Amino acid sequence: MAADPYTEPAPSATTESKTNKKSKAKDSVESLLKSSRSSISKKKWAQAKKDLIKADKLNSKNADVKNLLGFVTRNMNDTKSSMKYYQAALKIDPNHLGANEYLGELYLKLKQPDKAKAQLAKLEQICGTNCAEYKDLANDIAKYKK
């Protein structure tokens, strides 16, 4: 008997295995992001970093993971790593609001207000002057001048 041309063939075990692995990896990255955000809210920087490193190993092309790694390492006073992570996030997504804001904040920490202002200008191009990221960085720049 000929195969029914209107019926999809059952996926092979290999295909199912690959699909399940991708699904589990995505779920794991999401759960690790959630866990890291919880740790960040409690200022448990080392635990957040540990979760984010795991998430980054599962998906090295996730701009949110790179951005949060930058945020956490900046709060751990590791400005060199922080810079690396923000730049990696922006390489993946040049218009990432958080990475642009936080990179501006890092520039202020490094006493480079002109570079922070350049990040503010970038945010204005991306989201205008009413988005939270623009307002937060503008406020930080204003405080820095005082």
pLDDT in tens, 12-50: 343 334 444 454 555 699 999 999 999 999 999 999 999
Q: Helices 13-41 and 45-58, interaxial angle, to 10°?
A: 160
Plot region of 3 (φ>0 → left; ψ -120 to 50 → alpha; else → beta): beta
Give the CA angle between residues 61, 72, 34 to the nearest 5°.
65
State the pLDDT confidence band at 11, using cuts at 50, 70 and 90. Answer: very low
The CA distance from 49 to 20, in Å, is 26
Query: What whole-number distance in Å separates Cα of residue 81 and Cα of residue 72?
Result: 10
Position with higher pLDDT, 122 vs 17:
122
> What pLDDT sits at residue 145?
73
Specify the pLDDT at position 110.
97
Multiple choice CATH, 27-93, 1.10.10.10, 1.10.3720.10, 1.10.150.80, 1.25.40.10: 1.25.40.10
**pLDDT band per the 50, 70, 90 thresholds, residue 134:** very high
Residue ranges matching CATH 1.25.40.10 in the chain: 27-93
| 8 phi, psi to nearest 5 deg | -70, 140
pLDDT for 5 beyond 80:
no
* Nearest of 74, 61, 70 to residue 29 by alpha carbon: 61
Q: How far apart are CA 24 and CA 21, in angstroms?
A: 5
Give 26's Cβ-side CA count (13 Å radius). Answer: 6
The stretch 100-113 carries a mean pLDDT of 98
Which pLDDT score, from 0 to 100, does residue 48 have?
A: 98
Tokens of 57: 């190993």
